[in-house]
Amino acid sequence: MARKGTSMRLTSSRISSLLLSMFATFASFYVAGRLWQESQTRVHLISELHRVTGQGKSAISVDDTLKIIACREQKKTLAALEMELSAARQQGFVPKHTDVAETKKRPLVVIGIMTSLGNKKKRDAVRQAWMGTGASLKKIETEKGVIARFVIGRRCGFGLSLYACNDD
């Protein structure tokens, strides 16, 4: 008899789990159907509202409209400033800095080459190979904005005089 009771419990638990899964499936179908109906109803109501009020989809958004308004305001401000400038020129006012060549250009890059006092031959070799001398150096500085200078560090040896380190 013990066998009969255990088999009854297994079949009843199988039946209850089957019924529970069927109930869950039907409930999910019901909820999904209701949601679908509500979304379809909303779409229909929105389309009817647009039809009745005459408002269709706008071709331009609110942000775009605000940008256009701001551009128009800036255009009006610019036109007013141009009119003031032309009136000032007619009255004889001249801007202070009219000559572009008169203004000093900032250098594009400054190159510092670290050397020691005793490396005169090396400095001369670098000048000939990379920097140029005299007029060519000034031309690079004015046209390109590249400034190259030697930065002389400490002496070649501790306690030695300056003349003892020269390569001359």
What is residue 25's predicted lDDT score, i.e. its pLDDT?
93
Q: What is the pLDDT of residues 39-76, one digit of tens each?
A: 888 888 888 877 777 665 556 777 888 888 999 999 99
CA–CA gap between residue 16 and residue 85 (Å, rounded): 91
Lowest mean pLDDT among 25-29, 37-41, 106-110, 155-159: 155-159
* pTM greater than 0.95 (yes/no): no
Comparison of pLDDT for 38 and 54, the residue scoring more: 38
CA–CA gap between residue 145 and residue 48 (Å, rounded): 69
Is residue 112 within 8 Å of residue 153, measured between CB atoms? no
Q: For residue 165, what pLDDT band results from cuts at 50, 70 and 90?
A: low
Which residues fall within 8 angstroms of residue 153, CB to CB, at 6 or more apart? 114, 115, 116, 117
Q: Kindly state the average pLDDT of the residues 27-39.
A: 84
% of the chain surpassing 90 pLDDT: 12
Q: What is the pLDDT of residues 112-142, one digit of tens each?
A: 888 877 778 888 888 888 777 778 888 888 8
Q: Kindly state the average pLDDT of the residues 29-38.
A: 83
CA–CA gap between residue 160 and residue 122 (Å, rounded): 20
Q: Is the pLDDT of residue 103 over 50?
A: yes
Which residues, in sequence order, are bridge partners of residue 92?
Answer: none
21-25, 48-52, 161-165: range with highest mean pLDDT: 21-25
H/E/C letters for each residue in 125-151? HHHHHHHCCCHHHHHHHHHHCEEEEEE
* Residue of 154, 167, 164, 165 lying closest to 124 (CA atoms): 167
CA–CA gap between residue 108 and residue 147 (Å, rounded): 8
Q: Which two tokens stand for residue 69?
A: 């308004």
